[in-house]
Amino acid sequence: MLYSFRNPFDFAPLDFANFFLLHRAFDAYDPIAIAFVPVLVAVALCFAVARYTDKQGGTRLKLPVRWPLLVYLALCLLGILYAWVYELQLGNSPTDLLFVAFYGVSASGYTWTLYLFHSTVFLGFAYLFQLRLTEELDARIYYVALRRGSPLRWLARFVLPVVGRAPLLLLPLAAMTFVVAVLGNFTGSNSDAIEGIPHPGWILYQFFVNGTLQLLCYVLITFIVSWVSGRTVAGLLALGTILVLSLPALNVGQLLPAALNSMGYLELGASELVRITVVLTIYLVILTVITTLVVGNRRLFFNERI
Amino acid sequence: MPVIELEKVTKSFKGVPIFDNASATFEAGKIHGIVGPNGSGKSILFKMICGFILPDTGKVIIDSQYQSPSRTFPEQFGVIIDRPGYLPQKTGLDNLRDLAKIRGAIGDAEIRDAMEKVGLPPGLKQKARNYSLGMKQKLALAQAIMEDQKVLILDEPFNALDADSVDLVRNLLKKHREQGRTVIFTSHNREDIDLLADHTLRISNSKLERIS
């Protein structure tokens, strides 16, 4: 026999968590290496598709322009509804839903679906930025930059509106979550979520302050990779890489800001949330310096795009 | 007096030499035609003139009246360089409004006037993505002239234009010259060069040779 399932009652390949979580993979597969095969095949497939679309002239969607935004918002809504059903099934309270939605992790532990939801929210925002950047670079960079007068002025006017939009995106997400929490027919009181939280305001702080900083980190990473490589598909690959590296099995030291939950835990108190803010701010400063350097260096970017 | 001067410019891309010690001057109030085979470096030359890329060695000198300390790129230059210049989901007029807003120097009247000058009806409701190739080219031309630019750097401005439009643009460029402005353009059509250019430069063997 080539391999065996440790638990014969579970059909391991159908449970995605068995590929995402190391301890689940260990429980499900013998030898554990089997768990990595589908993941590696999927990653190789993604790279092949990315290379193919790049050769075909890029990744521009042939869809109406607003479709990616609509699909993105629909996925966000789906994530909130999923979190609602998830908490409802556990008999938990509305507070648990808010906890999951704002904090990015279930109080009862890590779930890959919630991880995917938050990855969709955060990396999806960076992907929308990537689409906008692709459009600008492909269509009119020279005409806009010439009128702005300098590459750095172009950069500032291109990126700063995104800084303003990040909290604007988080705001309706928060509003939707509140509505679902209030109208969600919660009857359970099995709440274990808020224990240890210094003040409910800290949940909002985590969501809006750290969430915005995290979004901006992703945006700048996407920008730098696309700009330096001269290939917009590289930005997509960077986002995919972040998604994979942020998986708990790999993001052991919680060094990557992922899904709001990987940098620390709310139960550890306000100081932990402030620590996350400081770390994200340091990331952001470093990324801003790199962005300024690569855009200001005309030997780097434009040469690649000749 | 030269508006633009290239002084011993060397430029290579991925190890392939494009320009090697190339020098040239572009005088004010003249039309300069650039010829050369595909891939000879015409677009690179234009990008260097506009400051989008830097030469490896040598200098690109722009007349000081087109520069200011706060700018990296020259002022009052209108360009068409290997990008379409429009967002496909917007109308031609809206695209030009977007670009005009950056400087804030002109309003709708000037934008409409520029569109009419190149033969593009300003009232068209069509999105730019549905434009024909010729219409897209006219839109690019309109953005290059709409702010009353004093120097035009045009890469293949006659591409995809029908015969009437070619005449229209030729007359436009001649009028530009009569007003003392400078035009540098590339074309694969010898007739455009012969009819318009006061001076012609050929890119050959990584050099810029003045042939007329």
- Judged by CB atoms closer than 8 Å, whether chains meet at B70 and A150 is answered as yes
Q: In what order do the strands lie in the sheet with B16-27?
A: B16-27, B2-13, B57-62
Residues A74, A35, single domain; the answer is no
Residues A171, A73, single domain; the answer is yes
- Asked if residue B34 is part of any domain, the answer here is yes
How much of chain A, in percent, has pLDDT values that exceed 90?
A: 10
CA-to-CA dists, residue B139 to A133, B74, B122, angstroms: 22, 22, 10
CATH code for the domain of B201: 3.40.50.300
Residues B163, B142, single domain; the answer is no
Residues A75, A184, single domain; the answer is yes
Query: What is residue A95's predicted lDDT score, i.e. its pLDDT?
Result: 66
Cα(A15)–Cα(A5) distance, integer angstroms: 12
Q: A236 CA to chain B: closest CA distance, Å?
A: 21
Query: What is residue A133's predicted lDDT score, i.e. its pLDDT?
Result: 87
Residue A266 or A257, more confident = A257
Output Rg (C-alpha) for chain B, integer angstroms. 17
Residues A53, A80, single domain; the answer is no
Residues A219, A158, single domain; the answer is yes
Q: Is the pLDDT of residue A108 over 50?
A: yes
- Asked if residue B81 is part of any domain, the answer here is no
User: Which residues in B lie closer than 8 A to residue A142 (C-beta atoms)?
Assistant: 47, 50, 52, 79, 81, 83, 85
User: Which residues in B lie closer than 8 A to residue A161 (C-beta atoms)?
Assistant: none
Query: What is residue A7's predicted lDDT score, i.e. its pLDDT?
Result: 46
Token duo for residue B155: 């890469």
Q: Which of A64, A139, A298 sits opposite B52 (nearest CB)?
A: A298
Alpha helices in B76-196 (DSSP H): 92-103, 108-117, 133-145, 163-178, 190-196
Domain membership of residue A53 as a residue range:
1-57
According to the per-residue pLDDT averaged within each range, which of A46-50, A116-120, B67-71 is highest?
B67-71
pLDDT band at residue A112 using 50, 70 and 90 as cut-offs: low
Query: What is residue A306's predicted lDDT score, i.e. its pLDDT?
Result: 40
The last residue of a domain, from among B130, B147, B164: B147
Counts for chain A of helices (H) and strands (E), in that order: 13, 2
- Quick one: three-class SS letters along A49-81? HHHHHHHCCCCCCCCCCCHHHHHHHHHHHHHHH
Q: Which residues pair with B120 in a beta bridge?
A: none
Residue A202 or A66, more confident = A202
Weakest-pLDDT range from A171-175, A191-195, B72-76, B189-193: A191-195
Q: Are A222 and A130 in contact (CB under 8 A)?
A: yes
B52 touches chain A (CB under 8 A): yes
pLDDT band at residue A205 using 50, 70 and 90 as cut-offs: confident
- Asked if residue B95 is part of any domain, the answer here is yes
User: Which residues in A lie closer than 8 A to residue B143 (C-beta atoms)?
Assistant: 143
User: Which residues in A lie closer than 8 A to residue B60 (C-beta atoms)?
Assistant: none
pLDDT band at residue A171 using 50, 70 and 90 as cut-offs: confident
Cis status, amide bond into A200, omega within 30 of 0: no
Residues A163, A262, single domain; the answer is yes
Question: B101: nearest CA in chain A?
Answer: A147
Q: Is the pLDDT of residue A269 over 50?
A: yes
Q: Is the pLDDT of residue A208 over 70?
A: yes
Torsions phi, psi for A256 (to 5 deg): -95, 130
- Asked if residue B46 is part of any domain, the answer here is yes
The residue of A60, A65, A69, A146 whose CB has the most chain B CBs within 10 angstroms, and thus the best one to mutate to test that interface, is A146
- Asked if residue B47 is part of any domain, the answer here is yes
- Judged by CB atoms closer than 8 Å, whether chains meet at B83 and A144 is answered as no
- Asked if residue B189 is part of any domain, the answer here is yes
Q: Is A274 helix (H, G, I), strand (E, B) or coil?
A: helix
Residues A253, A182, single domain; the answer is yes
Question: A150: nearest CA in chain B?
Answer: B72
Query: What is residue A9's predicted lDDT score, i.e. its pLDDT?
Result: 42
User: Which residues in B lie closer than 8 A to residue A150 (C-beta atoms)?
Assistant: 70-73
Query: Which of residues 95 through 134 in chain B touch A, CB cutoff 8 A?
Result: 99, 102-103
Question: B136: nearest CA in chain A?
Answer: A139
DSSP structure string for B1-19: -EEEEEEEEEEEETTEEEE
Cα(B26)–Cα(A131) distance, integer angstroms: 39
Q: Are A211 and A202 in contact (CB under 8 A)?
A: no
Q: Which residues pair with A58 in a beta bridge?
A: none
User: Which residues in B lie closer than 8 A to residue A230 (C-beta atoms)?
Assistant: none
- Judged by CB atoms closer than 8 Å, whether chains meet at B47 and A302 is answered as yes
pLDDT band at residue A120 using 50, 70 and 90 as cut-offs: confident
According to the per-residue pLDDT averaged within each range, which of A161-165, A259-263, B79-83, B108-112 is highest?
B108-112
- Of all helices (H) and strands (E), which one includes residue A7? none
**Mean pLDDT by groups of 10 residues along chain B of 212 residues:** 93 87 95 92 92 92 93 94 85 96 95 96 92 95 96 94 95 96 94 95 90 85
pLDDT tens digits along A243-256: 777 776 676 666 77
Query: What is residue B207's predicted lDDT score, i.e. its pLDDT?
Result: 87
Cα(B212)–Cα(B193) distance, integer angstroms: 10
Residues B135, B72, single domain; the answer is no
pLDDT band at residue A240 using 50, 70 and 90 as cut-offs: confident
Query: What is residue B165's predicted lDDT score, i.e. its pLDDT?
Result: 95
User: Which residues in A lie closer than 8 A to residue B84 (C-beta atoms)?
Assistant: 139-140
- Structural domains counted in chain B: 2
Residue A186 or B36, more confident = B36
Residue A74 or A269, more confident = A74
Q: Which of B72, B81, B88 sits opposite A142 (nearest CB)?
A: B81
Distance from the Cα of residue B181 to its chain's centroid: 13
Token duo for residue B134: 């010729």
- Judged by CB atoms closer than 8 Å, whether chains meet at B86 and A140 is answered as yes
Query: What is residue A39's predicted lDDT score, i.e. its pLDDT?
Result: 67
pLDDT tens digits along A10-32: 555 656 566 655 666 667 777 76
- Asked if residue B27 is part of any domain, the answer here is yes
Residues B70, B172, single domain; the answer is yes
- Structural domains counted in chain A: 2
Domain membership of residue B116 as a residue range:
87-147
Residues B161, B127, single domain; the answer is no
Q: Is the pLDDT of residue A201 over 80?
A: no
Residues B3, B71, single domain; the answer is yes
Output Rg (C-alpha) for chain A, integer angstroms. 21
